[in-house]
Structure 1
Amino acid sequence: QTELKYALIKLLQYVFGYVIFPISTVGKVLMCKRIFKEQTMPIGDVPFYKIGTFGGQADAYIDENLYHEYKNKYSFPLKGEILISCSGTIGRCIIYDGEPAYFQDSNIVWVSNDESIVLNKFLYYLYKTMSWNIVSGGTIGRLYKSDIEKTLIKVPPKDKQVKIVSILERFDSLCHDISSGLPAEIKARKKQYEYYRDKLLSFKEKKG
C-alpha cells in the first residue's frame, strides 16, 4: 500500500507539478520517552533540551547509560530529521545533527520521514512558512500531534525540492553569516531570502 501511495503521489506531481497532502502521509509524529526531573542533573554526559533551552544551550543533562537505553528502546530522531517545538516558541525548527542529546517529550517532536517523497531539508524550510493550528489553553498556546498530522503541505517532485533547498541554503548562509556584509546588507538579504522562500514554496498547477 505504501509503494502504491508513493507511486500515485509521484504521478500526480508529474501531472500537476506538486501534490497537496497532510503531513501524516509522510510519517508519524513522534517524541522522546519522558524524562523526569530527578533523572536530570546540572552537569553530565548528555544534554537534555527542554522547551526553554531548545535551539540554545542546555541547562540540564542525563546519564549516558540512560541516554543509550532510551534511545534504543523508544522513539528517537534520526540524523537530519526536523525537530519542532510544540509550546513556548511554537513552530521553531531544528535539524537534528545526530550528536548525543535528548529532548523533552510532547514539547519537542518530529515527523518520521524516510525521504521517499519529501526531503527533510525541504520540510525544514516548508515548516518555516506554516501557519500552525495552535490551541490556546488560558495563557499558554500549544501545538498538538493531531494538528501537525492534519496540516496540509504542498510537495513538488524531489528534483525540484533539491533545487529549492539549494537556493534557500545559499540565502540562509548569507543572512546568518555576519562576516558576509554590513548589518544593512544582511537585513536586505534576509528580506530577499524570505520573499524567495515564500515564492519557491508556493506552487501553481500546470496548465495543459
Structure 2
Amino acid sequence: MHSIQDECPEGVPFYSINDIFTLRNGYTPSKSNPDYWNGTDTLPWFRMEDIRKNGGILDHAIQSVSRAALKGRAAFPANSLIIATSATIGAHALITVPYLSNQRFTSLSLKPRFQKNIDMKFAYYYGFILDEWCMKNTTTSSFSSVNMSKFRRFRFPVPPMSVQKTIVQILDTFTSLENSLENSLEKELQARHKQYAYYRNQLLTFRELQA
C-alpha cells in the first residue's frame, strides 16, 4: 500500500461527479402497457433485489423490459454504475451490459473525456466510499433521498491508471477471500468483512493534488 502512495506523493487530481459522469435517473415503464414488459428484444431492468441476490457486478437482471419502453431514448450504456439515491440508500453496482434501472437508482456513465483515465472497476470500488457519503447526506420527505445538488459536487479521485489497476487487483483478491468464507463461522466472516472494509478505505484514500 505504501508503494501505491509513492506513485503520487503530491496527491492526485479530484473532479466532481458531474465533471466525470453523465447522470441519468432510472425509471419504471408503465405496468399498464404490456408492450413494455413482453417481447424478445429486451433489456435488463435492475432493482435493489438484483444487488441483494447477485452482488455488485452484474450482467443480467431478475426482470427485463422491452426496448419499446425506451420510447426513443438511449439505453444506459454498459460499464456504468448505478447508485441508490432514494429509499434504500447505501448500495451500488457496476453494470457491464446496456440496461435500464428503476427510479431508486441514479446511473453514472463516463463522459468521453474520462473514458481513458478511469478504470470502471476502480470506480466500482470507490463506490463504497460514495455509499457512505450518500447515507450521511440525505433529505427526508415521504422517503429518504440523497441531496443531489451535493451529490453532483462529490469529489472523485483520478489517480494514475497504474495505481487504479493495482488497487483493483488487491481489492479483487480481498473480495475473493471474503467470498470463500461464506460458509465459515459467522464471527470469522464478520471479522474478515471489517478487515476488508478497513483496508479498502485505506487504499481508496488520496490527498487531493493542489493547483
Q: TM-score, normalised by structure 1?
A: 0.72
Residues 1:154 and 2:126 aligned together: no
Aligned 8 A contact 2:76 2:100 in 1: no
Q: Aligned partners of 1:188 and 1:79: how far apart in 2?
A: 34
Q: Deviations over 1:115-142 (max 9, x none)?
A: 3222211111112112126332335111
Which of these residues, 30, 34, 47, is aligned with residue 36 of structure 1?
Answer: 30
Query: Aligned runs of 1:100-111 on 2, under 5 Å?
Result: 101-105=99-103, 107-111=104-108
What's 2:57 paired with? none
Q: Secondary structure at the match of 2:82?
A: strand
What's 1:119 paired with? 119
What's 2:58 paired with? none
Bigger Cα displacement from structure 2, 13-22 vs 127-136:
13-22
Which of these residues, 48, 51, 57, is aligned with residue 55 of structure 1?
Answer: 51
Q: Secondary structure at the match of 1:128?
A: helix
Using a 3 Å threshold, how does the CA distance of structure 1 residues 174 and 44 change in structure 2: closer, same or farther? farther
Q: Secondary structure at the match of 2:24?
A: strand
Aligned 8 A contact 1:171 1:189 in 2: no
Q: Secondary structure at the match of 1:37?
A: coil
Q: Aligned partners of 1:165 and 1:177: how far apart in 2?
A: 18
Q: Aligned partners of 2:188 and 2:47: how far apart in 1?
A: 34
Aligned 8 A contact 1:21 1:153 in 2: yes
Residues 1:190 and 2:193 aligned together: yes
Q: Aligned partners of 1:59 and 1:159: how far apart in 2?
A: 35
Q: Secondary structure at the match of 1:28?
A: strand
Q: Secondary structure at the match of 1:89?
A: coil
What's 1:66 paired with? 68
Q: Which amino acid aligns with 2:125?
A: Y
Q: Secondary structure at the match of 1:168?
A: helix
Q: Secondary structure at the match of 1:123?
A: helix
Aligned 8 A contact 2:46 2:102 in 1: yes
Aligned 8 A contact 1:119 1:161 in 2: yes
Q: Aligned partners of 2:107 and 2:47: how far apart in 1?
A: 15
Deviation of 1:196 (Å): 0.8
Segments of structure 1 that go 5 or more residues without pairing to the other structure are: 1-12
Using a 3 Å threshold, how does the CA distance of structure 1 residues 48 and 192 change in structure 2: closer, same or farther? same
What's 2:85 paired with? 86
% identity of equivalent residues: 23
How many residue pairs align between the two structures? 186
Aligned 8 A contact 1:174 1:186 in 2: no
Aligned 8 A contact 2:79 2:94 in 1: yes
What's 2:180 paired with? 177
Segments of structure 2 that go 5 or more residues without pairing to the other structure are: 1-6, 54-60
Using a 3 Å threshold, how does the CA distance of structure 1 residues 184 and 139 change in structure 2: closer, same or farther? same
Q: Aligned partners of 1:145 and 1:66: how far apart in 2?
A: 29
Give every structure 1 segment of 4 or more consecutive aligned residues whose post-TM-superposition deviation is greater than 6 Å: none
Q: TM-score, normalised by structure 2?
A: 0.71
Q: Aligned partners of 1:33 and 1:180: how far apart in 2?
A: 37
Using a 3 Å threshold, how does the CA distance of structure 1 residues 20 and 137 change in structure 2: closer, same or farther? same
